[in-house]
Amino acid sequence: MVTRAVPEPALELLRASADVWVSPHDRALSDDELREAVAGADAVVTMLHDRVDGALLDAAGPKLRVVANLAVGYDNVDVAAASARGVVVTNTPGVLTDATADLAMGLLLAVTRRLGEGERLLRAGTPWDWAMDFMLGSGLQGKSLGVVGLGAIGRATARRAWAFGMEIAYTQRHRAEAAIEAALGGARFVEREELLASADVVSLHCPLTAETHHLIDAAALRAMRPTAYLVNTARGPVVDEAALVEALRSRVIAGAALDVFEHEPEVHPGLLELDNVVIAPHLGSATVETRNAMAMLAARNALAVLAGDDPPTPVKP
């Protein structure tokens, strides 16, 4: 059972070994629709907007063996509940690293150089003329990027920022290997408080967990420099969106660039009103090549479990 249409090559791979039902709706299914659709399934391919909890797993029944989540994050899946029922959970890491890091870098450039603001000015037909002080932004060379979560996407984003001449600092639960720090131009491991206080750009790449929910709240935003920018390509609820709007309105920080939102697909109306915000509709992995690779990996994960083999990318219970 596939909860939403995916690229055809992945469906062809699944159909070669199984009877496949794909949701006919071009939208996220409701909880009731999901529970009805999964009944009797051996495998379910889910999207990041599908809530996979105990109720859904029970609705699927005892035949269910694998939930193949088509995302690198799996905060939408109750992994413990799945494990307790003997259901394997998989995700799609690796294949979307570069696409998401590219987007993070694009957002970083857009907000620091005021690209969205400039485009809106032109599209509105506002008169303008070149001047020495016209729409000045902030350069990146010699500035510091603070990475929250130096996983694969965090490292890839840091590599891009370093190539632009930025200095890299990072924070996470444990310090990275020396070789990783060296590859990022001598990236510095710091505590979160120091990173917030010192970084010119804070870029979020941590998973959404109970510990990281609202990691960036009003206090964290006040700890940042008034000239600093926030970039979020992780998960929306890592940021307290209401607190961010207030911080941007009152210029507690200089700006923010967001690809994800706390109540996605809803966007806080305050963000839409502010010029010092760049927003994108969750486009982190949105390239043809990446979405094809994600779907193929999810299909291979599902088929491996059904065949009694180890899946390529399991989520550890």
Residues serving a catalytic function are 235, 264, 282
Give the 3-state secondary structure of residue 171: strand
Which residues fall within 8 angstroms of residue 244, CB to CB, at 6 or more apart?
216, 221, 230, 256, 268, 271
Tokens of 123: 């599209």
Give the 3-state secondary structure of residue 287: coil
Name the phi and psi angles at 28, rounded to 5. -70, 135
The amino acid present at 45, given as its one-letter code, is: V
Angle between helices 97-112 and 288-306 in degrees, nearest 10: 150
Alpha helices of 218-258 — where are they, by DSSP H? 218-223, 241-249
Please choose, from the candidates 146, 97, 80, the residue with its C-alpha nearest in 3D space to the C-alpha of residue 285: 97
Residue located via tokens 């996983």: 151
Residue located via tokens 């307790």: 84
Please choose, from the candidates 203, 114, 216, the residue with its C-alpha nearest in 3D space to the C-alpha of residue 161: 203
H or E stretch covering 198: helix 192-198
CB–CB of 51/31 below 8 Å? yes
In whole angstroms, what is the distance from residue 228 CA to residue 256 CA? 9
Angle between helices 97-112 and 115-123 in degrees, nearest 10: 70
Name the phi and psi angles at 92, rounded to 5. -130, 65
The amino acid present at 12, given as its one-letter code, is: E
In whole angstroms, what is the distance from residue 2 CA to residue 23 CA? 6
